[in-house]
Amino acid sequence: MKSLLKKRLQLQLLFVLLAAVLVAALSVLLISDAIRGAESVVLNDASKALTTAVSELDRQYRDRVGADTAWRALPVPAQDTSLRGVSQAVLRSYPGIEGGYQIATHFLGYSFPTHDTGGKKIDVPTAELDDILATISEAGASGVAHRILRGRHDLVVIEAKADRQSGIASWAMKRLAAQSDPGTHRHEILLAALVLAALISIAGTLTTGIVLQRGILQIKSGLAALESDFSHRLPERNDEIGEINHSINRMAAARQKLESDLRREDRLRTIGRLAAGIAHEIRNPLNSIRLSIRYLERRLGPGQVRTEDLHPVVEEVDRLSGLLTNLLIFQKTSQPALRQQPVPPVLERCVRLIEPQADARQIKIHTDLGSRDVEACFEAEQLTQVVTNIMLNAAEVVEQHGTIDLHLEQRDGKAYIQVHDSGPGLTAEQTEHLFEAFYTTKPQGTGLGLAVSRELMIGMGGSLRYVNGRSSLAASGLGATFEIELTGAANPAEMPAADDYAKCHDSDR
């Protein structure tokens, strides 16, 4: 029973198919029977038309012969031409009828004026020639003869009228579609069966269509739910749609397990990259501190330790502290001290910080800071860190004698800082992962610089984005352009928080 329920859709389709075959068979029988039922009527009408046409052909022949005393002296071709005009005049009033005369052994005056080919037909049909001659022969014995030829696709009715004394015969022929004649009660039975079969076919088709539509809608809604929730499952059913639902549920379970495994592997991979990056970053300062301590140890002997000898140790310790600070930024444990202040002084400081590295590689820094009245709401130290990090990245990719452009402008109460370099630019893959933590293409990099910078800008209510050649500084189409957006104090709705906005206003009082 369960197997039959599972095959219910197939059984329904088979049932519909059988009903459709039954409808087609009954339709053929009914139509054939109806056609055959009209045969006697059609044959009767055709016979009457042929009888009238043959009689008129005979009368017109007698009138033609009686009006011309030299008729019998005319050659056969002349008689044929004259009689063709007579038969055309007579048969033009009888659509579908062809005919003429036979005198002795000659067919004369044959015509088919209503022939549907458009041209004149003057040759006696060869396919029915023997039957025409046989009908004329019968008419010579009895005066009038009638013959019906039944073919696969048509009926041919031939009629002839002969004068036994003169040996002249008039004949006519008409083609009809094949037909026959059954009883009226059989018509009614076949029609009722046809209606019943049609109703069964319609009911089966509607049922199948409704089942399919509901099943498809169920699958579509289930797939839509699975796009956002892999724990969702489609309902179980005991039919073909249920088998599809079951397969989808198995696929969703496998996908859910795969997603869980991938997330776990991704977390482990991230932890591994983080540990490797931290180990690398910490190892370098520790090596520097170790060398500095060994250097101090050697100088302690002669008693010549100087204050500046401790600077490398302090700087490397600061580097370690900065690395840990960058990692803690992702936890958002601190809020920036925002205040309204001028932007150009911060940018000038950033230029001074990277000038030594730029000069060492003969890189030119072009600045366009505009008006010194450009102000925004930000924390100076964090903005310095962001701009310096972007400019240091630019200095690393720019070749010798290259350029770094720093541009500042103010639009709609906001300050926009653009940093453009003349380096090789970024690939599509680099652009896609640009601000992801721990993503880097540098052999010694950790991939935290841009990720930390963007977090800092978001914390200050601004943004950091890669403009990909849309900057006016990238007119040549080369290099990369980063744009920093700073929110002005005149736009409270665009501040990250009400407290930060209050801080900016408090600083202006």
117 by DSSP, 3-state: which?
A: coil
Q: What's the pLDDT tens digit per position in 257-284? A: 887 788 777 766 766 666 665 665 566 5
Tell me the mean pLDDT per 10 residues along the chain, length 509.
58 69 70 65 88 92 85 86 90 91 88 80 86 90 90 86 85 79 55 72 74 80 80 80 83 82 73 62 65 70 64 67 60 72 93 86 90 89 90 87 92 92 84 74 67 87 82 61 82 47 49
Nearest to 395 by CA among 367, 363, 417: 363
Which residue type is seen at 367? T
Please give the pLDDT value at position 372. Answer: 82
DSSP 8-state assignment for residue 433:
T
Q: Are 244 and 219 in contact (CB under 8 A)?
A: yes
- State how far the Cα of 230 lies from the Cα of 243, in Å rounded to an integer: 19
232 by DSSP, 3-state: which?
A: coil
368 by DSSP, 3-state: which?
A: strand
Q: Is 327 exposed, middle or buried (0-12, 13-18, 19+ CB in 10 A)?
A: middle
Please give the pLDDT value at position 144. Answer: 93
- State how far the Cα of 85 lies from the Cα of 506, in Å rounded to an integer: 122
Which residue type is seen at 57? L
What's the per-residue H, E or C state across 128-172?
CHHHHHHHHHHHHHHCEEEEEEECCCEEEEEEEEEECCCCEEEEE
Residue with tokens 């069966």: 193
Long-range CB contacts (within 8 A, 24+) of 150-158? 150/178, 151/178, 152/178, 153/177, 153/178, 154/178, 155/39, 155/43, 155/179, 156/128, 156/131, 157/43, 157/46, 157/47, 157/50, 158/50, 158/128, 158/131, 158/132
- State how far the Cα of 251 lies from the Cα of 233, in Å rounded to an integer: 10
Please give the pLDDT value at position 207. Answer: 79
Round the CA-based radius of gyration of the chain to a whole number and report it.
53
- State how far the Cα of 122 lies from the Cα of 128, in Å rounded to an integer: 15
The DSSP H or E segment spanning 27 is helix 8-37
- State how far the Cα of 348 lies from the Cα of 343, in Å rounded to an integer: 9
Which residue type is seen at 118? G
- State how far the Cα of 48 lies from the Cα of 39, in Å rounded to an integer: 14
The neighbour count for residue 415, using CB atoms within 10 Å, is 23
- State how far the Cα of 447 lies from the Cα of 322, in Å rounded to an integer: 15
The neighbour count for residue 339, using CB atoms within 10 Å, is 17
Paired tokens of 308 = 């500046």
Please give the pLDDT value at position 343. Answer: 94
Please give the pLDDT value at position 19. Answer: 74
Q: Which domains does the chain have, with CATH numbers?
A: 39-177 (3.30.450), 334-508 (3.30.565.10)
